Amino acid sequence: VVDVPVSELALNPERGGPKNLPIARVLVDDDESEGKGTCKHKPKLVILGCGWGSVAILKTLQADQYHVTVVSPSNYFLFTPFLPSATVGTLELRSLVEPIRTILTRIRGHFLQAEAESVDFSEKLVEVSQVIDGEKRHFYLPYDKLIIGVGSKTNTHGVEGLEHCQFLKTIDDARKIRKKAIGNFEKAVLPTTSDEERRRLLSFVICGGGPTGIEFAAEIYDMLNEDLIRHYPRILRNEVSVHVIQSRSHILNTYDEALSMYAEDRFARDHVEVYTNARVQEVKHDKIVFSEKTQDGKVVTKEIPYGLCLWSTGVSQTDFAKNLATKLDKQTNKHALETDTHLRLIGAPMGDVYAIGDCSTVQYNLAQNIMTFLREIAWEKGKDPKEVHLTFKDWQTVAQRVKKRFPQAGQHLRRLDKLFQQYDVDKSGTLDFNEFSELLSEIDNNLTSLPATAQRAHQQGQYLARKLNKLAQVAPGMRANGLLDGDLDETFYKAFEYKHLGSLAYVGNAAVFDVQGYNFAGGIAAVYLWRSAYFAQSVSLRTRFLLFMDWAKRALFGRDMMDL
Binding site for ligand FAD (CB under 6 A): 48-54, 71-74, 80-81, 83-84, 115-116, 149-151, 168-169, 211-212, 318, 320, 357-359, 452-455, 457
- Closer residue to ligand FAD, CB minimum distance, 160 or 319: 319
Burial class (CB in 10 A: 0-12, 13-18, 19+), 282: middle
Shortest Cβ 337–ligand FAD spacing (Å): 11
Distance from C-alpha of 89 to C-alpha of 550, rounded to nearest angstrom: 9
Q: What stretches of 189-256 show up as alpha helix (H) in DSSP?
A: 195-201, 211-223, 229-231
Taking the complex as a whole, the smallest distance from the CB of residue 3 to ligand FAD amounts, in Å, to 31
> Torsion angle of alpha carbons 388, 380, 366, 502, nearest 10°?
140
- 340-344 contacts at long range (C-beta below 8 A, 24 or more positions apart): 340/495, 341/495, 341/496, 342/467, 342/489, 342/490, 342/493, 342/495, 342/496, 343/460, 343/463, 343/464, 343/496, 344/486, 344/489
Q: Closest separation between CB of residue 327 and ligand FAD, Å?
A: 14
By CB atoms closer than 10 A (0-12, 13-18, 19+), residue 76 is middle
Question: Which 3-state string (H, E, C) describes 329-392?
Answer: CCCCCCCCEEECCCCEECCCCCCCEEECHHHEEEEEEHHHHHHHHHHHHHHHCCCCHHHCEEEH
How far is Cα 393 from Cα 114, in angstroms, rounded to an integer?
A: 54
Whichever of 167 and 433 has its CB closer to ligand FAD, that residue is 167
Cβ closest to ligand FAD, residue 118 vs residue 397? 118
Q: At closest approach, how far in Å is the CB of 430 from ligand FAD?
A: 38
Q: Whole-angstrom Cα distance, residue 453 to residue 358?
A: 7
Question: In this structure, what DSSP letter does residue 144 have?
Answer: S
The three-class DSSP label of residue 527 is helix
In angstroms, give the least distance from the CB of 20 to ligand FAD: 22
- Name which of 89 and 385 has its Cβ closer to ligand FAD: 89
Rounded Cα–Cα distance for residues 21 and 137 (Å): 10
Q: Which lies closer to ligand FAD via its Cβ, residue 130 or residue 341?
A: 130
- Give the residue with the Cβ less far from ligand FAD, 45 or 390: 45
For the bound state, the minimum distance from the C-beta of residue 477 to ligand FAD, rounded and expressed in Å, comes to 27
Handedness of CA 404, 410, 368, 357 (dihedral sign): negative
CB 316 to ligand FAD: min, Å: 12
Q: How far is the CB of 247 from ligand FAD (least distance, A)?
A: 18
Please identify, using beta-carbon distances, which residue of 289 and 527 lies nearer to ligand FAD. 527
* Closest CB to ligand FAD among residues 89, 151: 151
Q: How far is the CB of 213 from ligand FAD (least distance, A)?
A: 9
Rounded Cα distance between 76 and 111, Å, is 11
Least distance from ligand FAD to the Cβ atom of residue 114, Å = 7
Quote helix, strand, coil % in the chain, to nearest 5.
40, 25, 35
With a CB cutoff of 8 Å and minimum separation 6, the contacts of 61 are 45, 68, 107, 465, 468, 469
Residue with smaller CB distance to ligand FAD, 51 or 385 = 51
Nearer to ligand FAD, 202 or 452 (CB): 452
